[in-house]
Amino acid sequence: MKTSPFEEQIAEYVDKGIKKKSDSIPRRTYLGGSSLGEKCSRKIQYSYMGQEPDADRHFSPQTLRIFQFGHEIEDSMANWLKQAGFDLRTEKKTGEQYGFSISDGQIRGHIDGVICGGPVEMGYPCLWENKSANDRKFKEFQSKGMAKTNPIYAAQVALYQAYMELTEHPCLFTVVNKNTSEIYYELIPFDKFLAQEISDKAVNILQATKAGEMLPKIAQSKDMFDCKWCNYKETCWS
């Protein structure tokens, strides 16, 4: 069906508004716990340094909408848990998210929530982390579990458990299927070795950056899979 010039203009203005809003958000000046599980330390270092992504790697309005839906799904999942009788705390009295800050604020993380009690005898308090996924990825979570499906999430959970001192009881990890609204639940025990590994990795990135050194590339060529979707591929290899 052919669109009218008015419909095209509406779409253009909506996309411009989304992009303008995104561009107004200050860039992170610290290492975020949610990204430290990335395989390539050099990629994390570029982001920490404030390096602009390659010209063709900026988020499109459609991608930004996907991110926004993810936040809204998280709010819905939090409400469903509370309705079920779980004592879920997602923010402080000041309205701020719970989180941690170490190394003079150079390493930070903000958690989705802490569950302090509930109808299931599973151990409290515990960390709660939520994600959303399309149907293909959701089924992968079901068949393989969180750690094998997404090592970045595994690193994030371990680091958050460590620095929020929520190591005694497993984290409740939930995933909402964006296609079917199914929910995946998994209890994740604390992995102290992974938490230490990721913490050491963060310190290594900070030390290299302070010394003016770029960490080694992860691949032998920019055409290798690990570099294919990197926001800094051209910058790195040029």
- Give the pLDDT score at 1: 76
Mean pLDDT for the stretch of residues 163-172: 98
Amino acid, single-letter form, for residue 114: V
- Give the pLDDT score at 222: 84
Tell me how far apart the 2 most distant CA atoms of the chain are, in Å. Answer: 59
Amino acid, single-letter form, for residue 134: N
Query: Could you give the strand order of the β-sheet that contains 171-177, starting from the edge strand earlier in sequence?
Result: 88-89, 113-115, 126-133, 171-177, 183-188
Any domain includes 42: no
Report how far Cα 87 is from the mean position of its chain's Cα atoms: 23
Mean pLDDT for the stretch of residues 227-237: 91
Any domain includes 36: no
Q: Give the percent of the chain with pLDDT over 70.
A: 100
Residues 6 or more apart whose CB falls under 8 angstroms from that of 14 comprise: 61
Any domain includes 221: no
- Give the pLDDT score at 224: 87
Q: For 66-110, what is each residue's pLDDT tens digit?
A: 889 888 999 999 999 999 999 999 998 888 899 999 999 999 999
- Give the pLDDT score at 24: 86
Any domain includes 195: yes
Closest by CA to 123, choosing from 161, 190, 174, 169, is: 169
To the nearest whole number, what is the mean pLDDT of the chain? 94
Higher local confidence (pLDDT), 135 or 221? 135
Contact 173, 157 (CB under 8 A): yes
Q: What is the SS3 assignment for 102?
A: strand
Q: What is the CATH number of the domain that holds 150?
A: 3.90.320.10
> Could you tell me the residue range of the domain that residue 139 belongs to?
68-199
H helices of 25-122, in order, are: 41-49, 61-83
- Give the pLDDT score at 111: 97
Residues 6 or more apart whose CB falls under 8 angstroms from that of 65 comprise: 18
pLDDT higher than threshold 80 for residue 178 = yes
Classify strands 107-110 and 183-188 as parallel, antiparallel or unpaired.
unpaired
Instruction: Note the residue count of the chain.
Output: 238
Whether the ω angle into residue 119 lies within 30 degrees of 0, i.e. cis, is: no
pLDDT higher than threshold 80 for residue 167 = yes
Report the sign of the C-alpha dihedral through residues 78, 81, 85, 88, in that order: negative
Any domain includes 127: yes
- Give the pLDDT score at 161: 98
Any domain includes 119: yes
pLDDT band at 213 (very low <50, low <70, confident <90, very high): very high
Q: Which two tokens stand for residue 103?
A: 């190394």
Q: Which two tokens stand for residue 58?
A: 């900026």
Closest by CA to 129, choosing from 94, 91, 171, 75, is: 171
Any domain includes 107: yes
Identify the weakest region by mean pLDDT among 84-88, 206-210, 211-215, 228-232.
228-232
pLDDT band at 229 (very low <50, low <70, confident <90, very high): confident
Any domain includes 224: no
Counted domains in the chain: 1
Q: 128 pairs with which residues across the strands?
A: 113, 172
Amino acid, single-letter form, for residue 229: W
> What is the pTM (predicted TM-score) of this model?
0.91
How would you classify residue 181: left for phi > 0, otherwise alpha for psi between -120 and 50, otherwise beta?
left
pLDDT higher than threshold 90 for residue 226 = no
